[in-house]
Structure 1
Amino acid sequence: MKQHFFGKIFVLLLLLGACKSLQEKGNDQFLSGEYQYAINTYGQILEEDPDNIEANQVIAESYRLSNRIEESVPYYEKLVEEEPSFEAYYRLGLGYKAQQEYEKANEAFKLSEDYTSDQEYIAEARRQTKAIELAEGISDYWENYELVNFQELNTAGADYAPITSEDYFYFTSGRQASGIYAADGSPYTKLFRARSDGLRVDVNGIQALPEFRNEEGLNQAAIAISPDGNTIIYARGNSLSPKDLPETALFASYFRGAGFTQPIWMEVNEDEFWWNSTPAFSPDGEILYFASNRPGGYGGIDLYKATKLANGDFGNAVNLGPNINTPGNEMFPRPAPDGKFFFASDGQPGYGKLDLFVAEVNDEGEQIITNLGPSFNSKMDDFAISFTEYPKQGFISSDREGGAGNDDIYYFEDKTPKPKIVNVLLNVFTKQRVAGEPDAVLEQARVVLYDAQNQQMDGNFSNSTGRVRFTLAPDENYTIIASKSGYFSKSVPYTTNGKTPDPSTLIQEVTNVTLDTTIVLDQLILDKSIVLENIYYDLDKADIRPDAALELDKLVQILKDNPTIRIELSSHADARATDAYNDDLTQRRAQSAVDYIVSQGIDADRLVAKGYGKRQLIIENAQTEEEHQVNRRTEFKVIQIDQ
Structure 2
Amino acid sequence: MQKEKNEFFKVKNFSKKINTEYHEGPATFTRNNRRIYFTRNNFKKGKLIFSDKKVNQLEIFVSQLIGDEWTEAELFTINDKNYSIGHPTLSHNQKFLFFVSDAPWDGAMGGADIYVCKKLGAKWTQPKNLGPKVNTKGDELFPFFHKDGVLYFSSNGHGGLGGLDIFICKHDGYRASLPININQIYPINSSYDDFSFIINDKKEHGFFASNRLGGKGGDDIYYFEKDESALIKLKGFVYEEETGIPIMNAKLVLMDIAKGEKISNTKDNGKFEFLIEPNKDYQLVVSKLDYKTKKIVYLSSDYKNVEEPFLNIPLEKGFWLHLEGKVVDEITREGIENAQINVFNKTYNLRNAYTSNLKGAFSFALDPDCIYDFEISKDGYFTKNESQISTYGKRKTETIYHEIVLALRNLKMGSSFVLNDIYYDLNKWNLRSHSKLELDKVVKYLKDNPHITVELGSHTDSRASETYNLNLSQKRAKSAVNYIISKGIKKNRISAKGYGETKLKNHCKDGVKCTEEEHQENRRTEIKVIGF
TM-score interval for Structure 1 and Structure 2 normalised by the shorter chain:
0.3 to 0.5
The structure having more radius of gyration, on CA atoms, is: 1
TM-score when scaled to structure 1? 0.34
Larger relative strand fraction? 2
